Amino acid sequence: MKRKFTYVDLDLTAIGAVVFDTDGVATDTARLHAAAWKHVLDGFLRGRSEPFDIREDYLRHVDGRTRLDGLRTFLASRGITLPEGSPDDEPGAETVHGLGAAKDRYFLRQIDKYGVASFPSAVALLHELRRRGSRTAAVTSSAHGRRLVTAAGLAHLFDLVVDGHDAALMNLPGKPDPAIYLEAARRLNIPPARTAVIERALPGIEAARKGGFGLVVAVDLTGQAEALRECGADIVVKDLDELTVHGRVRLGD
């Protein structure tokens, strides 16, 4: 089916809501996730395999997925099999849950130490969208989505947040399955066809395309524009200040 939108334009006469991925789109936390994975996995990989490469391993196997799904995908890429373990495993235990817990602990320590920054262009876009009547949501695979959005000072700019904690409670599959984005659209009470998704990671772009969203915008921070388009992005920008917003959401929409 031919897509409706082909320009760097967000038309609010056709779109009633915009759903933002959080890490790397609204908040500058993607690099902290990557650094936390490298910190944990380099120690684990010593004597087993080559060190964790942020550009290759993180972007290809981990980025955009839930913590445990990303870890499983990465380990499979190295031919490494670990027992699943359980959520009660000690951080650093050589299980999927143990390594995931170690990454989570290190990530939160970095957040507590350095705080969470938001992207100015995302803040400006959110203000403009809300001024024109658009509903907005933040979506993230991280279980700490609400904490990150609040720490970045963005909570008042979103109607709702759907994060990894919600996904676990509802047993929603992770990206590239569209379930978490579809849940955000459901809570916003706007059909996916009239909802835009702004994403950065390949699994998230694929999820938005599979979900039938009316506009899929990719933010290319890592020079993978062609791959983002192949996954289903209608628009690829390097920064959200390249997006132009037109029109207003009609009352009652």
Q: Which of 23, 69, 104, 163 is catalytic?
A: 23
Helix (H, G, I), strand (E, B) or coil at 31: helix
Contact 162, 139 (CB under 8 A): yes
23 belongs to the catalytic site: yes
SS (HEC) of 120-139? HHHHHHHHHHHHCCCEEEEE
In this structure, the chain runs to a length of 253
CA–CA separation, 118 vs 116, rounded Å? 7
CA distance 38 to 97: 16
Cβ pair 149, 22 in contact under 8 A: yes
Do 104 and 111 touch, CB atoms closer than 8 A? no
CB 10 within 8 A of CB 130: no
Q: 9, 21, 234, 253: which one is catalytic? A: 21
What residues pair up with 21 in beta bridges, in sequence order?
A: 139
Complete DSSP assignment for 153-210: T-GGG-SEEE-HHHHHHHTPPPTTSSHHHHHHHHHHT--GGGEEEEE-SHHHHHHHHH
For residue 66, the one-letter residue type is: T
Nearest to 149 by CA among 188, 118, 183: 118
Q: Position of tokens 């359980």?
A: 86
Catalytic-residue membership of 57: no
Phi-psi region of 242 (alpha: psi -120 to 50; beta: other; left: phi over 0): alpha
Residues carrying an active site annotation? 21, 23
